[in-house]
Amino acid sequence: MENGTTQLGEYLVRLGEDRDELTEFLKNPERAMRNAGVPAGERDVIMRGDIQEVQQLLREQLGDAPMAFIVHVNWPFIVHD
């Protein structure tokens, strides 16, 4: 990724580890992802709310390692080993 950008998969993993970042995401997901450097196209995937599309993108970014989707207030974040 370009300097200053964060892949969606990396960002969603951080949400599972950082309560403050998760709180900001739940308040305003678009702003939180933009501030974290998630590219616009990847933010759009989350904002559309299509879990299958999110899963496909995350598989591309994180590989086939086991992951659990946790949906809270219709916003997914993941736990990834």
Cβ neighbors of 65 (< 8 A, separation 6 or more) are 80, 81
The answer on pLDDT for 81 being more than 50 is: no
Residue 4 DSSP SS3: coil
pLDDT cut 90: percent of the chain above it: 32
The pTM of the full predicted model, rounded to 2 decimals, is 0.76
pLDDT band, very low/low/confident/very high, at 69 (cuts 50, 70, 90): low
Predicted confidence at residue 55, as pLDDT, reads 85
Inter-CA distances, 35 with 2, 9, 41, 50, 76, Å: 15, 15, 14, 22, 18
Taking only the tens place, the pLDDT of each residue in 9-43 is 899 889 888 999 988 988 899 999 999 999 999 99
